[in-house]
């Protein structure tokens, strides 16, 4: 036994080693005597690993921060490159201005808009964007004013003049940037909208100005009329509204062609401008109708004198495209506030006056009156009823026999149009034919007449009655319609009527309006086998020259000459001359309006044997024709 407290420490027993949980060979390494706790490498190693981990943990946020910083710099560089690419290659202008208007930054598109080769060139040359670029310096004030007040501009349009002197339109979108209350700069975009503005101008030009004459159109005219009436109302003045329309323009345009019609309108517009001077507004309202606004008139007499000068200046001889002819016009007048207090009423009443002037003759004018208004209302009512007459089967034909006095036989029939109005009864042709022609209704009505007459003539033949030619009057408007000859051919084919039994009655004036075109149409009709007659011969030109050219089949002597042949030597001489002329040209001749035996005897004595008139028969209904074709008129 060792003395207590001396020598080496006692070894731990097995139980003690197990309890410690430490292997014995590790406990024996580096154990220092006199130390109650284990010492040595184990403790040192644990202390070393803890410091490294702490150092690593401390540096990890720094590394992460540096990585994020590097990544942010990379993204920033990419964004800056992308922005620079967008800035440099943008199709619209991008700019920055200081508050005084000096450009601080512009992209190539902005420099190009302003006429410069590069941004550097523009920045070196421009010291005030608005004052040097904007065409209207006031527009620059309109631009910067709201910006200085802290506002923004979106869609601000301005006209600029670039470095080359070319005018352009740009659209600006701009906002200010502030540092507190201080404006640092303005930045925004600019887009060249020159082509868009030009397109808008073209559209406006088409919308407000007539392409042919260059005059304002109806929409702009009505605006200016409204403005003139407002001024007149404020100043207690009068304003005259004048409507002028060329006579027979549609006929001339259809027969001589659109090029001639446009040339005529240009010349008329220029004549009106010259006649009215600078004091009046002139517009083309449509077709061959022109409007004139005469402000601050003193009296109706002054307006009438003005109208007479305009009519005299417009009417007269025109020479266009190888055609030389005289043009006439009519004019209607209304005065504010006497005839109306708004533009629409003045237009309506001037139109009423113009219609009244047309009825009194060419190259005239009329001042509106209430009596005219009543007459026009009746006319318009008749026109509206006439539009419905075809659909309602109110139109019908009667037939007047043409008699050969040598045999007493019916040698032909003339188809005459009648209208049975549901309220007014039988409307005389003189009251509705003119309305049909002026409104254009004569075209569908004329086609109906031609088809109905041909159908009826064929039916009479199928019923076994002796075939005779049927005469149909053709309106000048109808004859000039494109495709008229084809219409005649189609109707003959559909009805089965032999063309030699159709006679078309034309007027002298119609044939002479456009000689070349009329000759072509007449030759085509004659080639079909259709007969042609000159109606009311003697009231027009009565020229031997055109009779030779057209080679018609028959002349019809107007009733105005026949009515007084037994008592008026002049009428007798004219009728005799027409008959002799027709015989010399191997033309048939028929006298209209024969009503008594004295007229009949005179015509027989002149060897005129074809007679039409009340002496033999009034126009009769379809049902009565069969008896007349089977009988004879012996007197």
268-325 pLDDT, tens digit per residue, is: 999 999 999 888 999 999 889 999 999 999 988 999 999 999 999 998 888 888 777 8
Euclidean distance between CA atoms 593 and 558, whole angstroms: 8
Task: Give the end-to-end CA distance of the chain in Å, rounded to a whole number.
Answer: 195
Q: How wide is the angle at C-alpha 351 spanned by C-alphas 345 and 354, nearest 5°?
A: 145
Decide if 389 is inside a domain: no
Choose the final residue of a domain: 334, 368, 402.
368
Closest C-alpha among 353, 216, 329 to residue 271: 329
In the chain, pLDDT over 70 holds for what percent of residues?
Answer: 83
Residue 202: pLDDT band by 50, 70, 90 thresholds? Answer: confident
Note whether 184 and 238 are same-domain residues.
no
Q: Quick check: helix, strand or coil at residue 564?
A: coil
Residues 6+ apart with CB under 8 A from 537: 508, 555, 556, 557, 558, 578
Question: What pLDDT, on the 0 to 100 scale, is given for residue 72?
Answer: 67
Q: Is 618 left (phi over 0), alpha (psi -120 to 50) or beta?
A: beta
Contact present, 277 and 295 (Cβ < 8 Å): no
Residue 13: pLDDT band by 50, 70, 90 thresholds? Answer: very low
* Residue 524 pLDDT exceeds 80: yes
Question: H helices of 323-470, where?
Answer: 343-360, 370-389, 429-439, 442-462
Decide if 357 is inside a domain: yes
Note whether 164 and 217 are same-domain residues.
no
Note whether 194 and 216 are same-domain residues.
no
Decide if 129 is inside a domain: yes
Sign of torsion, CA 432 437 440 443? Answer: positive
Q: How many CB atoms lie within 10 A of CB 11?
A: 11
Euclidean distance between CA atoms 149 and 178, whole angstroms: 11
Euclidean distance between CA atoms 629 and 626, whole angstroms: 5
Q: Structure tokens of 330?
A: 């009519």
* Sheet-wide strand order for 281-286: 281-286, 289-297, 238-246, 329-336, 364-367
What distances in angstroms separate CA 198 from CA 159, 169, 201, one per listed residue? 12, 9, 5
- Identify the weakest region by mean pLDDT among 13-27, 166-180, 245-259, 591-605: 13-27
Euclidean distance between CA atoms 562 and 620, whole angstroms: 22
Note whether 166 and 101 are same-domain residues.
yes
Residue range 476-491, pLDDT digits in tens: 888 888 889 999 999 9
Decide if 379 is inside a domain: no
Decide if 384 is inside a domain: no
Euclidean distance between CA atoms 161 and 170, whole angstroms: 10
Note whether 191 and 214 are same-domain residues.
no
Euclidean distance between CA atoms 273 and 276, whole angstroms: 5
Euclidean distance between CA atoms 434 and 523, whole angstroms: 28
Mean pLDDT of 545-574: 81
Of 561 and 498, more confident: 498
Which CATH number does the domain housing residue 469 bear? 3.20.20.450
Q: Tell me phi and psi for residue 604, to 5 degrees.
A: -65, -40
Note whether 462 and 509 are same-domain residues.
yes
What distances in angstroms separate CA 590 from CA 173, 436, 486, 534, one per listed residue? 84, 27, 28, 10
Note whether 192 and 234 are same-domain residues.
no
* Residue 177 pLDDT exceeds 90: no
Rg (CA), the chain: 51
Q: How many CB atoms lie within 10 A of CB 614?
A: 12
Q: Quick check: helix, strand or coil at residue 25?
A: helix
Residue with tokens 């450009």: 103
For residue 247, the enclosing domain spans 210-368
Euclidean distance between CA atoms 538 and 150, whole angstroms: 87
Task: Give the count of domains, the chain.
Answer: 3
Note whether 217 and 180 are same-domain residues.
no
Proportion of the chain in helix, strand, coil states, percent, rounded to 5: 50, 25, 25
Which CATH number does the domain housing residue 185 bear? 3.30.450.20
- Residue 246 CA to its chain's centroid (Å): 21
Contact present, 372 and 356 (Cβ < 8 Å): yes
Note whether 260 and 291 are same-domain residues.
yes
Question: What pLDDT, on the 0 to 100 scale, is given for residue 86?
Answer: 64
Question: What pLDDT, on the 0 to 100 scale, is given for residue 288?
Answer: 92
Residue range 574-613, pLDDT digits in tens: 888 888 888 888 889 999 999 999 999 999 999 999 999 9
Closest C-alpha among 620, 579, 613 to residue 597: 613
pTM of the model: 0.54
Note whether 187 and 93 are same-domain residues.
yes
Task: Please give the helix or strand (H or E) that residue 366 lies within, else none.
Answer: strand 364-367
Contact present, 306 and 315 (Cβ < 8 Å): no
Q: Tell me phi and psi for residue 236, to 5 degrees.
A: 55, 50
Question: What pLDDT, on the 0 to 100 scale, is given for residue 136?
Answer: 80
Note whether 134 and 254 are same-domain residues.
no
Choose the final residue of a domain: 319, 335, 368.
368
Question: What pLDDT, on the 0 to 100 scale, is given for residue 324?
Answer: 77
- Identify the weakest region by mean pLDDT among 26-35, 484-493, 621-630: 26-35
Of 376 and 109, more confident: 109
Euclidean distance between CA atoms 267 and 558, whole angstroms: 37
Mean pLDDT of 459-479: 92
Choose the final residue of a domain: 147, 171, 198.
198
Residue 82: pLDDT band by 50, 70, 90 thresholds? Answer: low
Residues 6+ apart with CB under 8 A from 561: 538, 571, 574, 575, 578
Decide if 8 is inside a domain: no
Residues 6+ apart with CB under 8 A from 592: 536, 556, 557, 558, 559, 562, 612, 613
* Residue 38 pLDDT exceeds 60: no
Decide if 312 is inside a domain: yes
Which CATH number does the domain housing residue 276 bear? 3.30.70.270
Contact present, 400 and 410 (Cβ < 8 Å): no
Decide if 144 is inside a domain: yes
Note whether 603 and 488 are same-domain residues.
yes
Tallying the residues shown for the chain, one arrives at 635
Question: What pLDDT, on the 0 to 100 scale, is given for residue 10?
Answer: 42
Question: What pLDDT, on the 0 to 100 scale, is given for residue 29?
Answer: 43
Residue range 426-435, pLDDT digits in tens: 998 888 988 8
Question: What pLDDT, on the 0 to 100 scale, is given for residue 127?
Answer: 80
Contact present, 403 and 412 (Cβ < 8 Å): no
* Residue 411 pLDDT exceeds 70: yes
Of 67 and 622, more confident: 622
């Amino acid at each position: 036994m060792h003395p207590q407290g001396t020598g080496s420490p006692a070894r731990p027993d097995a139980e003690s080693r197990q309890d410690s949980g430490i292997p014995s060979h590790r406990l024996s390494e580096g154990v220092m005597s006199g130390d109650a706790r284990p010492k040595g490498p184990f403790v040192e190693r644990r202390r070393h690993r803890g410091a490294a981990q702490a150092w690593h943990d401390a540096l990890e946020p720094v590394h992460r921060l540096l990585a994020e910083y590097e990544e942010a710099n990379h993204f920033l560089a990419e964004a800056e490159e992308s922005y620079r690419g967008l800035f440099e290659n943008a199709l619209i202008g991008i700019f920055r201005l200081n508050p005084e208007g000096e450009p601080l930054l512009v992209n190539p598109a902005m420099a190009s808009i302003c006429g410069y080769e590069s941004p550097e060139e523009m920045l070196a040359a421009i010291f005030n964007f608005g004052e040097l670029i904007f065409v209207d310096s006031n527009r620059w004030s309109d631009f910067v004013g709201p910006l200085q007040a802290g506002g923004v501009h979106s869609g601000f349009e301005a006209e600029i003049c670039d470095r080359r002197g070319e005018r352009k339109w740009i659209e600006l979108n701009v906002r200010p940037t502030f540092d507190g209350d201080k404006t640092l700069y303005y930045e925004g975009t600019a887009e060249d909208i020159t082509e868009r503005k030009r397109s808008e101008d073209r559209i406006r030009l088409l919308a407000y100005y007539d392409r042919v004459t260059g005059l304002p159109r109806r929409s702009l005219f009505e605006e200016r009329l409204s403005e003139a009436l407002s001024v007149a109302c404020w100043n207690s003045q009068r304003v005259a509204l004048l409507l002028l329309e060329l006579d027979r323009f549609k006929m001339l345009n259809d027969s001589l062609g659109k090029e001639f019609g446009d040339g005529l309108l240009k010349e008329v517009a220029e004549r009106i401008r010259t006649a009215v001077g600078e004091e009046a507004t002139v517009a083309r309202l449509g077709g061959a109708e022109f409007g004139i606004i005469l402000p601050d008139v003193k009296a109706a007499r002054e307006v009438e004198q003005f109208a007479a000068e305009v009519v005299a200046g417009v009417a007269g001889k025109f020479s266009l495209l190888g055609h030389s002819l005289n043009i006439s016009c009519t004019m209607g007048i209304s005065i504010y506030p006497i005839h109306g207090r708004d533009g629409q009423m003045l237009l309506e009443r001037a139109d009423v006056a113009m219609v009244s002037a047309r009825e009194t003759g060419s190259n005239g004018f009329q001042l509106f009156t209430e009596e005219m208004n009543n007459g026009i209302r009746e006319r318009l009512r008749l026109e509206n009823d006439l539009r419905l007459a075809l659909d309602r089967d109110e139109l019908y034909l009667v037939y007047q026999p043409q008699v050969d006095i040598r045999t007493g036989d019916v040698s032909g029939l003339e188809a005459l149009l009648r209208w049975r109005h549901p309220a007014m009864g039988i409307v005389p042709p003189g009251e509705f034919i003119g309305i049909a022609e002026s409104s254009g209704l004569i075209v569908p009505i004329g086609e109906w007449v031609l088809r109905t007459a041909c159908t009826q003539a064929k039916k009479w033949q199928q019923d076994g009655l002796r075939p005779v030619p049927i005469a149909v009057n053709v309106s000048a408007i109808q004859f000039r319609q494109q495709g008229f000859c084809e219409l005649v051919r189609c109707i003959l084919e559909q009805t089965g009527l032999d063309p030699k039994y159709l006679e078309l009655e034309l007027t002298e004036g119609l044939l002479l309006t456009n000689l070349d075109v009329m000759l072509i149409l007449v030759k085509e009709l004659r080639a079909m086998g259709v007969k042609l007659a000159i109606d009311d011969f003697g009231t027009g030109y009565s020229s031997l020259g055109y009779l030779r050219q057209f080679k018609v089949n028959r002349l019809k002597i107007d009733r105005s000459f026949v009515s007084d042949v037994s008592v008026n030597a002049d009428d007798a001489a004219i009728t005799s001359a027409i008959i002799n002329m027709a015989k010399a040209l191997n033309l048939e001749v028929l006298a209209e309006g024969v009503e008594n035996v004295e007229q009949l005897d005179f015509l027989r004595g002149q060897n005129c044997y074809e007679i039409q008139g009340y002496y033999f028969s009034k126009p009769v209904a379809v049902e009565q024709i069969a008896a007349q074709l089977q009988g004879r008129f012996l007197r």
